[in-house]
Amino acid sequence: MATDANPTPAGPAYSSRIHRSARGERSSSSQITEQPRLSSLRKIRGPFLHKSSHGWQRDHRINRDGGVIKTVIREAKADAIAPSDSLPFVDVHYEGTLVENGKVFDTTYEDNSVFSFEIGEGNVIKAWDIAVKTMKVGEVAKIICKPEYAYGAAGSHPEIPPDATLIFEVELMVCRPRKGSSVESASEEKARLEELKKQRETAAGAKEQEKKRREEAKATAATRVQAKLEAKKGKGKKAK
């Protein structure tokens, strides 16, 4: 997804292009939840509802000319964070298909990786800069990209032909601040305090467990002493 020297817009493509990216790059990921492939497109003249395996979905034009259309497949939690000026770096899973034949031309699911890039820097195709910034962490969306918001008349040989409309299924995994930013420092401090809190809670829990163990041991010892005294009393009564 690196930006080439020529004016042809760059964006998600096959692995060789992604691994050459200077600012956007793939990295290894934890277990991935497979999402259904989306390989069909209707002519869209504004928002409308359609039925999918996830229920009724609304397609939404993100820009006026309909060049980028987004459908939310899985909504994020209400309190999920979203990309912003202070959180411009994102990690995503994605799968790209050609509208004309449904062929998958690139996917992060195949090699269990994520793709990282900075929003708004022109390191990916226009459709991604436009659509991903409207997502929240945990959201999965289908993004339909007309040629002028993808690879245009040039395409991206050999996988993407000229004037190709593309469909991407994108899952936003993480939003991150720039390194050295005040937000990053604040995030690190918050994480440090949360970790310290966890350590204190763990220590307090361990202390409480030790106290409980000692009390139980003390009660057990007292029960044994009482049992011995009762036994001695019983023997004394028999002797009389």
Is 14 noted as a catalytic residue in this protein? no
Whether 125 is a known active-site residue: answer yes
Q: Is the peptide bond before 7 cis (omega within 30 degrees of 0)?
A: no
Query: Could you please report the per-residue DSSP string of 161-215?
Result: -TT--EEEEEEEEEEEPPTT-HHHHHHHHHHHHHHHHHHHHHHHHHHHHHHHHHH
What pLDDT, on a 0 to 100 scale, did the predictor assign at position 20?
29
Closest CA to 51 of 35, 37, 34, 71: 71
Could you confirm whether 151 is annotated as catalytic? yes
> What's the pLDDT at 7?
39
**pLDDT of the residue at 79:** 92
What pTM value is reported for the model?
0.57
What pLDDT shows up at residue 197? 77
pLDDT beneath 50, residues of the chain: 1-11, 13-23, 29-56
Q: Cα 177 to chain center, whole Å?
A: 15
94 is catalytic: yes
The predicted-structure confidence for 10-30, as pLDDT tens digits, reads as follows 445 333 333 323 345 565 543
Catalytic residue among 59, 91, 106, 129: 106
